[in-house]
Amino acid sequence: MAQARLGPGRVHHCMRTIGQCELALELTAERVLERRAFGRYLSEFSNVQDWIAESRLEIDQARLLVLRSAWELDRTDADPAQLRAHIAAIKVVAARLQSRVVDRAIQAFGAMGLSPDTPLAYLWSWGRALHLMDGPDEVHLRSVARHELARARKRLGAGSAWFTTPEQMSAAPRLR
């Protein structure tokens, strides 16, 4: 019974994490438009633009992974092993996402990002806790790896068509 509730609970935690990362990104974008360093707005520095772009890409990637997991969770014909692997994957992805996005936000805010004047310090500590809640990331990574290895065992040898055979190696080269 408890296992049946873990999946939806983890999806919920991951979606909440994505929302918190959206907030951190919004705050970051606004802050870099108003904060100046070395005579320029932070938004003019290419590395800060990279932070914003990376955060957007990572949030959207995580959202799609979580939505796929939620969709599979709702399907009655879903493969339970695959579903467990996807739930484990989103748990790791969400924790890593929050750590990276909020860390970039704190960097953009400077010392203010660590103060209670913004929600960033709270979001960072929540993100750090996500790495441990419901089991450490390493346990979930192992679940994903075991699922992938089980899939590979079922199709063992199917990828050999992609390799160059000894006969092909010894043949004269074909030029077009």
Residue pLDDT, tens place only, 78-91: 899 999 999 999 99
Q: What tens digit of pLDDT does each residue of 32-47 get?
A: 999 999 999 999 999 9
The band of 1, judged by pLDDT with boundaries at 50, 70 and 90, is very low
Residue 127 · residue 99 · CB < 8 Å: yes
- Per-residue pLDDT, averaged over 143-150, amounts to 94
Does 2 score more than 50 pLDDT? no
Please provide residue 37's backbone torsions phi and psi, each rounded to the nearest 5 degrees.
Answer: -150, 140
Q: What tens digit of pLDDT does each residue of 58-71 get?
A: 999 999 999 999 99
Q: Which of 173 and 77 is assigned the larger pLDDT?
A: 77
How far, rounded to the nearest angstrom, does the alpha carbon of residue 77 sit from its chain's CA centroid? 26
Provide CB contacts within 8 A for 131, sequence distance 6+. Answer: 95, 96, 99, 137
Mean pLDDT, the chain, rounded, equals 91
Does 21 score more than 90 pLDDT? yes
Residue 143 corresponds to which tokens in the numbers above?
């679940």
